[in-house]
Amino acid sequence: MLQKKELPKLSEGFARITCCQSESDVQSAVDAYSGLGPLDTLPSGYFGQKNTSAKVQLGIMRFLKKTDESALKSVPDSNTSQITEEKETSSKGTGSLSENSGKESKEGEQLFVGSVGGDVSLNYSPTLAFPSISTADFQFDIEKASDIIVEKVIEFVNKLGNARLVLVDLSHKSKILSLVRAKASEKNIDSNKFFTFVGDITRLHSGGGLHCNVIANAANWRLKPGGGGVNAAIFSAGGPSLELATKEQAQSLYPGSAVVVTLPSTSPLFSREGVTHVIHVVGPNMNPHRPNCLNYDYSKGCKVLREAYTSLFEGFATILRTQAKSPKGSIENLQAKLPESQEHSDGASRNHFTNSDQKTKREDPHKYERSKRSKAYQDDTEDSNTGKPNLSNKSGGSRTKSWGSWAQALYNTAMHPEKHKDAVLEISDDVVVLNDLYPKAKRHVLVVARCEGLDRLSDVHKEHLPLLRTMHEVGLKWVEKFLHDDSSLVFRLGYHLDPSMRQLHLHVISQDFDSTYLKNKKHWNSFNTAFFRDSMDVVEEVSSDGKAKLKEDDSMLSMELRCHRCRSAHPNIPRLKSHITNCRATFPSTLLQNGRLVHAPSNVSIGP
């Protein structure tokens, strides 16, 4: 919004308008829009307009640094206001670090469910500390959330042996803690196995004397720092090593899912608090200002929240099982039991932990999300029937990928096409063909392999060469069909370096990119950078080298937007789309070689 310009109106063609009255409003809007993913939506309408006579939005002006210093000083700091709000609002979960966390934690020791049998601060039982999921910024009904928490605790608490579950919030006035305490007491839940605690979830040991080897993070779908609240606090406290370890485990999560991340010994949460694992979990959203809002559909919302807690507690159970199997004195058990005062007592022990941690990363047993919806995804390293190593995946590529439950759709369709007859275009012994659910062009289909153990390109070896050729031939057959209907189309066939959906699949996509589903930079660059590997190149590499050349680089998806024909740069997707609609430049020479582009015979020049 520029100075001396009137506020926009929905009647002028805008689908959604968000007015910002302060810097925190601006930050909230930036977080909301930057967090939008391929499947995310925000409701339409006019939001945040408090003064109908206003001409200029103060928050926007400050954001653009157009106001003078006096105006800037009149607006409270966004981080300070957010921390204050989270301390004072009883319904919010754990927020950023609090100066009074130690004091509040002492009060929290008197807030356990039922009677306390012993000194909790001296108890070294494996412990999961978790915030109330979705009841803060995602505005889920606290009464309903408390019912689900107690329900899921009852389901899991006796399956966890001597381990403990601890619901944590920053304020001793928290309504969610009060409700859960009361309901848990009515159900006679063992207070030694489940209780509530007041304190900062990132300083439970140093600030409140509570030893928790595992903490849960109410994460965003991108598994990135930021956004305020628990997520920002945990990523900040965990340091760069937590972000790196998270990135190695998963790139994103769908609501209702969780992923376990082993903390490197270099993380401050490990060295200061004794936390060995962080479990990221994403819950349902009822906030219209945040992505994927369920619009108060609590039938669906409660289902997703139950799945979220199931995924969380199953993840914790997985950690317990792994530690139980680990030899005495192993890194897993040492991380779970070593007090802060005994950690890294000398340089030798520090090096030992660092080296062992690197080994743990390679052999991390917590590689899949523990969600009911993803139980069909067996551990690639072991045969589910014999318990012996599964040698079908020699590269181990898929072992480092955590597939969300939503990412199982292609796998399920490929393995059981008879259950998805309405979606499948073609079925054979080797492949199934189906339309991309969110096509990025006029014609966009997927040729999906029907072979167990082939999740992505890194799983492909020379023995899979006949399958790759079959997939390419099937893709060409569909190109021929599409060209018969519209000879002006041009196609590419290829694979994504790091696909978001499990099960090897070939994209057959027309180069018009005329689609409402093509919305952001990631969408465009996933098909127009080296992130997209042409099918013919993959076939040649596997034939000669036994595997495809994979140089994964996250920066490819964030590169500037360039036209796939003339390579001109554009500032945003609307500008790019407007350009490519009229661009008739010849395709780059690299695409004109090796059969990378497929077109009708008469369209030889593929240019003006």
Neighbours of 240 (CB within 10 A): 12
- Residue pair 598/579 in contact by the 8 Å Cβ criterion: no
- Residue pair 139/287 in contact by the 8 Å Cβ criterion: yes
Taking the C-alpha atoms of residue 119 and residue 200, their distance in angstroms, rounded to an integer, is 19
Please name the residues in contact with 195: beta carbons below 8 A apart, sequence gap of 6 or more: 111, 112, 113, 114, 116, 120, 164, 166, 167
- Residue pair 316/214 in contact by the 8 Å Cβ criterion: yes
Distances (CA, A) of 150 to 217, 298, 503, 580: 19, 17, 37, 54
- Residue pair 11/40 in contact by the 8 Å Cβ criterion: no
* 112 secondary structure, DSSP code: -
Q: What angle do CA 195, 201, 206 make, to 5 degrees?
A: 100
First to last CA, the chain: 40
Helix (H, G, I), strand (E, B) or coil at 189: coil
Taking the C-alpha atoms of residue 493 and residue 509, their distance in angstroms, rounded to an integer, is 7
Taking the C-alpha atoms of residue 212 and residue 232, their distance in angstroms, rounded to an integer, is 19
Considering 211, 444, 472, 505, which one is annotated as catalytic? 505
What does the block give as tokens for 298? 């609590």
* 264 secondary structure, DSSP code: P
What does the block give as tokens for 59? 């928050």
3-state secondary structure string across 480-546? HHHHHHCCCCEEEEEEECCCCCCCCEEEEEECCCCCCCCCCHHHHHHHHCCCEEEHHHHHHHHHHHC
How large is the greatest C-alpha to C-alpha distance in the chain, in angstroms?
83
Taking the C-alpha atoms of residue 445 and residue 170, their distance in angstroms, rounded to an integer, is 49
**Residue at token pair 């062009």:** 441
Please name the residues in contact with 52: beta carbons below 8 A apart, sequence gap of 6 or more: none
What does the block give as tokens for 497? 């370096």
Reference 134, options 284, 255, 34; nearest CA is 284
Annotation says 505 is catalytic: yes
- Residue pair 212/275 in contact by the 8 Å Cβ criterion: yes
**Which residues partner with 598 through β-bridges?**
491
Active site residues: 505
